[in-house]
Amino acid sequence: MNAITVLVKNLADQHGRERQNLLPILQGVVEQEKYLSEFSMIEIARELDLPAAEVFGTATFYSFLEHKKMGKYIIRICKTISCSMKGSNQVLLTIQDMLKITVGETTPDGYFSLLQTNCLGFCHQAPAMLINNDVYTDLTPEKVREILSVYMNKKKEGVTDVQ
């Protein structure tokens, strides 16, 4: 059986197969796969006996339920007013420069995706960003370089592991 099919079945076993269990299941797939492919949404629809259009409609409403292939680490940088006032744009430019991608893109190696997001609730420690579920605050161009370097080194180590 396909890995996604197994994942969806396990999530449905864990959360239930009612409509009110849809969000936790969608979140479960995103947690592992980083995004919802058309195939995974159809599998969820089949498992929960829902029209696929309903699953697609629900999933695409939520900004954290991506439906485009995403990298292993999703960077979400806050663009709302407090962060914008404290220089989130310079931080964004630094990230773009380091990763050689713009907002909405994923690095060719599939490691990083860069997104902007609305208020993260760290206005007093602005600017802020999320990398997957981890929060980084009081960012400066220098600080964000250090943070990303750590992630990039993880990648290098990961490559050595495979070899």
Partner 1 sequence: MSNNYQLKRVDFIFKNENDWEEVLSKNLSHTPQELINELISSELKGRGGAGFPTGLKWKLSAEAVDETKYVICNADEGEPGTFKDREILSKVPFKVLTAMAICGYVIGAKIGTIYLRGEYFFLQPELNKAISEFKYYCDEIKFDFTINIFMGSGAYICGEETALFESMEGKRGEPRNKPPYPSSYGYMGKPTVINNVETLAHAYTIFNFGAKRFYDLGVQYSRGSKLYSVSGDTPKPGIYELELGMSLSDFVDEFGDGDTKAVQVGGASGFLVPRKRFNETTIGFQGKLTGISLPTGGSMMLFNSSRSMFNVLDNYLVFFNEESCGQCTPCRVGCQQLLRGIKAVKSGEKNAQYLDKLLRLAETMQYTAKCGLGQSVANSFSSIVENFREEMIY
Q: How far is residue 147's CA from residue 163's CA, in Å, rounded to a whole number? A: 25
The number of beta carbons lying within 10 Å of the beta carbon of residue 151 is: 15
Closest distance of CB 127 from partner 1, Å: 11
Q: Which is nearer to partner 1, 88 or 94 (CB)?
A: 88
Q: Which is nearer to partner 1, 25 or 144 (CB)?
A: 25
Contact 36, 29 (CB under 8 A): yes
Look at strands 134-136 and 129-131 and give their pairing. antiparallel
Q: How far is residue 120's CA from residue 64's CA, in Å, rounded to a whole number? A: 12
Instruction: Out of 135, 149, 153, 154, name the contact with partner 1 by CB under 8 A.
Output: 135
Closest distance of CB 102 from partner 1, Å: 17
Closest distance of CB 58 from partner 1, Å: 6
If binding is defined by CB under 8 A, does position 85 make contact with partner 1?
yes
Closest distance of CB 64 from partner 1, Å: 4
If binding is defined by CB under 8 A, does position 32 make contact with partner 1?
no
If binding is defined by CB under 8 A, does position 137 make contact with partner 1?
no
Instruction: Out of 19, 69, 100, 154, name the contact with partner 1 by CB under 8 A.
Output: 19
The two three-digit tokens of residue 20, written as one number? 């009110």
Local structure of residue 7 (DSSP, 8 states): H
Q: How far is residue 70's CA from residue 131's CA, in Å, rounded to a whole number? A: 12
Q: Is the peptide bond before 127 cis (omega within 30 degrees of 0)?
A: yes
If binding is defined by CB under 8 A, does position 26 make contact with partner 1?
yes
Task: Name the residues that contact partner 1, by CB under 8 A.
Answer: 18-24, 26-27, 57-58, 61-65, 79-82, 84-85, 117-126, 130, 133-135
